[in-house]
Amino acid sequence: MSAPETGNGKPSAPSARLMYLAVAAAAGLVLVGGAAFYVATLKSHHGDDASNIKVAVTSKSCEPNEISVPAGERTFEIANTSDRPVEWEILDGVMVVAERENIAPSFKQTLKVRLAPGDYEVTCGLLSNPRGTLHVVPSEEANAAPTHATMRSFLGPLSEYKFYLGRQSSAAVRTAKDLADAIHAGDLAKAQALYVVARQPYKRIEPVVYRFSDLQNSIDPVADYFEKREADPAFVGYHRIERGLFVSKSLDGLAPVADRLVGDLATLDERLKAMKMTPGILIDSAGNFATQLSRDRLPADKSRNAQGDLSDIEANLDGLGKIVGLLRPVVKPVDPALAQRIDTTLSETENAVAEHKTGIDGAAPDAPDRPGQRKNLVAAFTNLADALNQLPSAIGIDSNGT
């Protein structure tokens, strides 16, 4: 069963936080850690009995079963009036915000927690008991919104993105190997099927990969950039293989290209795993990449089969969506309007891609787009890029050196 979280659900005492805000606002910067310790020693007494919020856990439910408190740091006093040990948890969706476990019958425990405005559920003793409700209403104490994101708020998102990059790049190597195997085995149909799959993981991490220009030039260059175009011996990577599989419909000469691709992707995997993660990787990449897509790539379809082109766009959007999801909790407190705008433009873009897909499904794989569709797609990506490009100034953390 779950491990108890007996400390504060969220970090830092309010006085520390206010102090931090004052300092941060003055300097337009972020700081954490040490300041909290210093200020904590000045902190006045909290949670005297009178201000505690009292809850009794009976054998059937909580009393009261519905509580309303102002946002900020609150202390709950939980009395177990049932005849077995109980736990009391504050839940935000399925996540435990804070909890006390193993409160013995006829004992009281206190729980101090920092609460943001919103509605929470509360577990009350037995799992079969009805849940209680905790309404946390906006308060002045909690209203002092930060104007800049903290490095601390990036720790979770950056760790998660590092994990994501590693997963996707490993998958890119693995699926490219499968593709190379099919090519070596002379199985054209299988290679054609594997090609689209193999490209997905690479396309998801493209917002970051474009930073490694040497690798990008050997993994995913377009023929137009070579002097002799498709016939140029230097033309390698995914698109060289694509040309063989879908235009020439022949595996001639593809084996060494596939082997090279596997090697280059393995190098990429190593580089990503060694890459130092900074907030700029999240803040800048999404906007830069969406801009590149809407301005340079989407208007000129470089793919040689429509289905593949669509898969590329979907995977790219997937990768952008991952970044948006990671930044949402960072952006929302400092610029709720921008957070909303990004979410809206992202879902509009997803809709545009879905519409595009309906147009392509059922059509022959090499059929041209229906007129207007690509224009809609470009417009959606342009709006998304515009919104994402507001991130650096909104988040306020300086993202140089990435």
Partner 1 sequence: MKPHFLAATALAAALGYAGMAYAEDEDSKLVEPLAAYKSYVADHTEKLLENTTKFTAAVNAGDIAKAKALFAPTRMDYESIEPIAELFSDLDHTIDSRADDFEGKEKDPKFSGFHRIEYGLWTENSTKGLEPYATQLLADVKDLNHRIENLTFPPETVVGGAAALMEEVAATKISGEEDRYSHTDLWDFKANFDGSKKIYDLVKPLIEKDNADFVKKVDENFKVVDDTLAKYKTADGYELYDKLSDEDRKVLAAKVNVLATELSTLRGKLGLN
List of residues contacting partner 1 (CB under 8 A): 1-8, 10-12, 23, 26-38, 84-85, 89, 91, 94-96, 99, 101-102, 126-128, 151-152, 154-160, 162-163, 166-167, 276-279, 325-326, 329, 397-401
Nearest distance from C-beta of residue 1 to Cu ion, angstroms: 5
Distance in Å, CB of 159 to partner 1, minimum? 3
DSSP per-residue codes, 312-330: HHHHHHHHHHHHHHHHHHH
1-40 mask for Cu ion (x: CB under 5 A)?
x---------------------------------------
Size of the site for Cu ion (CB under 5 A): 1
- Residue 303 CA to residue 301 CA, distance in Å, equals 6
Gap between the Cα atoms of 39 and 256, Å rounded: 63
First to last CA, the chain: 41
95 binds, among Cu ion, partner 1, none (CB under 5 to 8 A by kind): partner 1
Least separation in angstroms between residue 394's CB and partner 1 is 16
Out of Cu ion, partner 1, none, which partner does residue 336 contact, by CB within 5 to 8 A per kind? none
Q: Which is nearer to Cu ion, 1 or 189 (CB)?
A: 1
Nearer to partner 1, 89 or 312 (CB): 89
User: Are 241 and 219 contacting, i.e. CB atoms less than 8 angstroms apart?
Assistant: no
- Candidates 283, 277, 276, 378; CA nearest to 323 is 283
28 touches which of partner 1, Cu ion, none (CB within 5 to 8 A by kind)? partner 1
Q: How far, in Å, are 130, 146, 382 from residue 341 at the CA level?
A: 37, 19, 13
Minimum CB separation of residue 202 from partner 1 in Å reads: 18
Do 209 and 285 meet the contact criterion of CB atoms below 8 Å apart? no
Smallest gap, in angstroms, from Cβ of residue 313 to partner 1?
A: 21
Q: What value, to the nearest 5°, has the Cα angle with vertex 361 and ends 359 and 365?
A: 105
